[in-house]
Amino acid sequence: MNSTSPIGQPLPRVDGRLKVTGQAKYAAEFEIPGLLHGSVVNSTIARGRVRRIDTTAAEAVAGVVLVLTHENRPPVASYDEPYQDDDAADGSPFRPLYNDRVLYSGQPLALVVAESLELARYAGSLVRIEYDVEPHQTDLAAVREQAHPAPEEVPSRGDFEAAYRGAPLQIDHEYGTPIEHHNPMEPHASTVHYQPGDELIIYDKTQGVQNCMRYVEGVFGLEGKVQVRSPFVGGAFGSGLRPQYQLPLAVMAALKLKRSVRVVLKRQQMFTFGYRPRTLQRLAIGFSPNGRLEALHHGSLGQTSRFEDFTEHEVEWSGALYACDNVQLEYKLGSLDVYTPIDMRAPGAAIGVYALEAAMDEVAYAAAIDPLQLRLRNYTGINGNQGKPYSSKELRACYEQGAERFGWSRRPLEARSMRDGHELIGWGMATGVWEAMQMPASAKACLAADGRLIVSSATADIGTGTYTVMTQIAASALGLPMDRVEFRLGDSRFAQAPLEGGSATVSSVGSAVHQACVGLREKILDAAQQSPASPFTGASLDDVAFEDGELVLKRDPARRVPLAQLIQTSGTLEAEASVKPGDEREKYATGTHSAIFVEVRVDEALGTVRVTRVVSAVAAGKVINPKTAASQILGGVVWGIGMALHEETWTDHRLGRYMNHNLAEYHVPVNADIHDIDVFFVEEQDSVVNDLGSKGVGEIGIVGVAAAVANAIYHATGKRVRDLPITPDKLL
């Protein structure tokens, strides 16, 4: 890193101008000559068979080219042996238009393809479907007794039963979380540019272009014929990790018609695939009068589809976050006539830590101990599930600095003890935790003829700032100004990259970008040494510096050469690097941690809740860009407030159908709901997690927020609501 390194600087987004001026193109915005448009027709029942599909009226509409159903779809290579994508759950993945079976309400049953989107949607309304209806079940509580263990084992330790029976104090409660849907601004869309010989260029809304490429190649037997591009994504939050059904439908239509086809889902159809699953979680904790945890049981029942077992890390956090010798963890699944859930921001942790941290608040009140002191009393530097120390864990600093900024020391212990007129005031807090993951990744760096540095990797930017931080990492490595560096992403032809999820992109792809630039430094120095009279003859990389676009000899800084001049002599220079987690990581547990402090005001007569202050203190290693990182945390806090007070997908179990599948009735926080949010990062050094010492921040922002809000509401009102969201009817 050079002395003027952009790493650690709060720089604006390099793609910001493109976005605010409308020049950034998304999956449904690429123009292709002769493009056809598809509209999906979805099932209106939750379970049964299609007896008959009448497409006559739709096909009679002028401009309609095709109505695709299970009866006339083209052959699909992998439908007898379903192809698993990179984010698939255990089981048999959903195959659109596979046969006449209806597996869930909203299942795609037909695709109308027409000359325009309006025609396609109108014709889709004319398709008539007759069903043989079968009894369905969509209520998780109703299948509690039929639940089966999740396929992924969860660790337990000690003797919970004996320790719990012998504990002086005990709590035992159930906490519920509802179905939530991602609802990114950009709907899912796929534009398939058909070319002769069944070669396809696909523009897709995805968090992993290479995953989609492999999926299409595998499903349709098109190896080597598919390129997927996704330069910009208008939010995803996990909904783009798996290929959604509009992609294979668009490919089917393109292959059958030998023409280019676009399929865009409507907002209502954004509720017809993955979501955050409903859970019922039990926390039973035995503890001493001074608040020491002696026994902890965390069991979760989560919903899944009948064709896949979707498993989250919901309960493991309870075995990792606090010191306790006797821990029993259990995770079961209830199979329902629904689509499979999918990862949603901080999957597992957002809901699992909610239950844990709400239960810890109940422990604090039962032991008459300040909730922050309770957490400090049970603090540990070891991940109990793994029996390993953390590579770094500045959670204690998060507690201390966050409490200071919030003014926590002035908090009275008693509930219903603070009031301002007709409003009850409450202060609550919670801990946040997420994994600090790294996955194998590659990147390519090229010093072009004009002296610009072009770096590429097949990663994504779903709004997190990937373009910007990768540009910062590359600029720092070669001592170039930011405007002389271009980072390219979202193309399956680029160097291998993992799915953009799990807060692992900077750790994984960022490390590859850094290493590729280090490799390029070697080639630049080698090129500079080609002349016999070169001042760099015999110099090693330790003897030189890269500053202000120049190669500099450290012992004689007057001896320097501009990289642009060097490249004119040597020609374009390139380097590619692949990285994976180092062996040193195996000795440690790794994680990102936070402490969240919340103030609420509750109208005593109306039961309405305002979250008036939030302080979020985060320990995330080396923060590459504090501006974009803080923005991620802010967004997570807003979502956590929504999770606590607003978000819930309602199911009419008589129909097995979602009732509020729109943005009018699916409630999310708006500007008027959000007040003062103070985000800051505590100092944390970590030489183990990756070469950059950086941990991701995309997920950690939401974890613990809902619990902190719920705990603040209890402190304000003295009423404990354990089922999210906490709405006025529950408080009254």
> Which among 409, 273, 353 has a CA at the least distance from the CA of 594?
353
Strands 485-488 and 453-456: parallel
Question: Reading across the β-sheet that carries 293-305, which strands appear in turn?
Answer: 148-149, 327-336, 293-305, 279-287, 169-177
Question: pLDDT tens-digit profile of 5-37?
Answer: 999 999 999 999 999 999 999 999 999 999 999
Provide the residue type at 74 as one letter. P
Report the pLDDT value the prediction gives residue 3, as an integer from 0 to 100.
52
Tell me the sheet residues that pair with 609.
602
Assign 3-class secondary structure to 66-84.
EEECCCCCCCCCCCCCCCC
Tell me the sheet residues that pair with 66.
113
Cα dihedral value 354, 359, 362, 367, nearest 10:
-130
The arithmetic mean of pLDDT across residues 606-623, rounded, is: 98
Report the pLDDT value the prediction gives residue 4, as an integer from 0 to 100.
75
**N-terminal to C-terminal alpha carbon distance within the chain:** 57
Q: Where are the domains of the chain?
A: 16-23+439-580, 36-135+185-236+240-271, 279-437+586-731
DSSP string across 195-257: ETTTEEEEEE--S-HHHHHHHHHHHHT-TT-EEEE-S--S--TTTTSSPPTHHHHHHHHHHHH
Report the pLDDT value the prediction gives residue 491, as an integer from 0 to 100.
98
Backbone φ, ψ for residue 360 (5° rounding): -60, -35
Alpha-carbon distance of 447 to 40, in angstroms, equals 46
* 16-23+439-580 topology per CATH: Aldehyde Oxidoreductase; domain 4 (3.30.365)
Task: Spell 420-446 as b/e; 16+ CB within 10 A means b.
Answer: eeebbbbbbbbbbbbbbbbbebbbbbb
Question: pLDDT tens-digit profile of 230-280?
Answer: 999 999 999 999 999 999 999 999 999 999 999 999 999 999 999 999 999
pLDDT band with cut points at 50, 70 and 90 for residue 69 = very high
> Which among 19, 17, 16, 11 has a CA at the least distance from the CA of 627?
11
- Whose tokens are 């801990």? That residue is 431
Contact status, residue 449 vs residue 578, Cβ threshold 8 Å = no
Q: Using the 8-state DSSP alphabet, how is residue 311 labeled?
A: -
Provide the residue type at 709 as one letter. V
Report the pLDDT value the prediction gives residue 81, as an integer from 0 to 100.
79
Percent of the chain with pLDDT over 70: 100
Report the pLDDT value the prediction gives residue 50, as an integer from 0 to 100.
98
pLDDT band with cut points at 50, 70 and 90 for residue 349 = very high
Alpha-carbon distance of 680 to 594, in angstroms, equals 10
Question: pLDDT tens-digit profile of 570-590?
Answer: 888 999 999 999 999 999 999
The arithmetic mean of pLDDT across residues 556-566, rounded, is: 91
- Which SS3 state, helix, strand or coil, does residue 638 take? helix
Strands 327-336 and 293-305: parallel
Cα dihedral value 359, 364, 370, 372, nearest 10:
-40
DSSP string across 397-447: HHHHHHHHHHTGGG--SSTT--EETTEEEEEEEEEEEEE-----EEEEEEE
pTM of the model: 0.97
Strands 573-579 and 441-447: antiparallel
> Which among 449, 452, 480 has a CA at the least distance from the CA of 568?
449
Alpha-carbon distance of 390 to 44, in angstroms, equals 50
Question: pLDDT tens-digit profile of 389-404?
Answer: 999 999 999 999 999 9
Per-residue pLDDT at 347 exceeds 60:
yes
CA distances (Å), 601 to each of 261, 604, 607, 671, 712, in order? 52, 9, 10, 17, 9
Backbone φ, ψ for residue 168 (5° rounding): -60, -35
Active site residues: 699
DSSP string across 486-547: EEE-SBTTSS----S-TT-HIIIIIHHHHHHHHHHHHHHHHHHT-STT-TTTT--GGGEEEE
Q: Which class for 644: exposed (0-12), middle (13-18), buried (19 or more C-beta within 10 A)?
A: buried
Domain 36-135+185-236+240-271 annotated CATH 1.10.274.10: no
**The two structure tokens encoding residue 362:** 């109940």
Angle at 470 between CA 589 and CA 88, to 5 degrees: 55
Tell me the sheet residues that pair with 723.
176
For the chain, give the mean pLDDT. Answer: 96
Per-residue pLDDT at 478 exceeds 90:
yes
Per-residue pLDDT at 629 exceeds 60:
yes
Q: Chain centroid to CA 518: how far?
A: 30
Cα dihedral value 240, 241, 245, 248, nearest 10:
110
Report the pLDDT value the prediction gives residue 2, as an integer from 0 to 100.
47
Question: pLDDT tens-digit profile of 148-171?
Answer: 999 988 899 999 999 999 999 999
Report the pLDDT value the prediction gives residue 1, as an integer from 0 to 100.
43
Tell me the sheet residues that pair with 282.
174, 299
Angle at 457 between CA 455 and CA 463, to 5 degrees: 100
Strands 226-229 and 199-204: parallel
Report the pLDDT value the prediction gives residue 154, as an integer from 0 to 100.
87
Element (H, E) at 344: none
Alpha-carbon distance of 364 to 362, in angstroms, equals 5
- Which SS3 state, helix, strand or coil, does residue 393 take? coil
Alpha-carbon distance of 64 to 58, in angstroms, equals 7
- Whose tokens are 């272009």? That residue is 209
Q: Same topology for domains 36-135+185-236+240-271 and 279-437+586-731, yes or no?
A: no
The CATH number assigned to the domain with range 279-437+586-731 reads: 3.30.365.10
Backbone φ, ψ for residue 76 (5° rounding): -120, 125
Task: Spell 348-374 as b/e; 16+ CB within 10 A means b.
Answer: bbbbbbbbbbbbbbbbbbebebbbbeb
